[in-house]
């Protein structure tokens, strides 16, 4: 993939995470789907997910997690 395709992929990833953060309280399943799509785009385009968004995906189950929405703090 060339640079322009990677830039487009990165923009799409950021947009999907922004949408996921907006809808997580009303529709957590849709937020999970947005995060899954962002992960797939990142893998396909071979770009890294930005760290601020990567923290929002569970390393074990790959679900979208937002502290305070449907996960707790410890």
Domain ranges of the chain: 3-54
Supply the pTM of this predicted model: 0.85
Q: How far apart, in whole angstroms, are the C-alpha atoms of residue 26 and residue 45? A: 30
CATH T-level assignment (fold) for domain 3-54: 1.20.5
Q: What is the pLDDT of residues 50-69, one digit of tens each?
A: 999 999 988 888 888 887 76
Helix (H), strand (E) at residue 23: helix 3-23
Axis-axis angle for helices 28-45, 3-23 (nearest 10): 170
- The predicted structure's pLDDT at residue 69: 64
């Amino acid at each position: 993939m060339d640079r322009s395709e990677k830039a487009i992929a990165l923009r799409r990833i950021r947009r999907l995470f922004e949408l996921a953060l907006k809808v997580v309280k009303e529709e957590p399943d849709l937020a999970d789907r947005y995060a899954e799509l962002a992960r797939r785009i990142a893998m396909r385009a071979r770009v890294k997910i930005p760290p601020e968004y990567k923290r929002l995906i569970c390393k074990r189950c790959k679900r979208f997690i937002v502290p305070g929405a449907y996960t707790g703090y410890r």
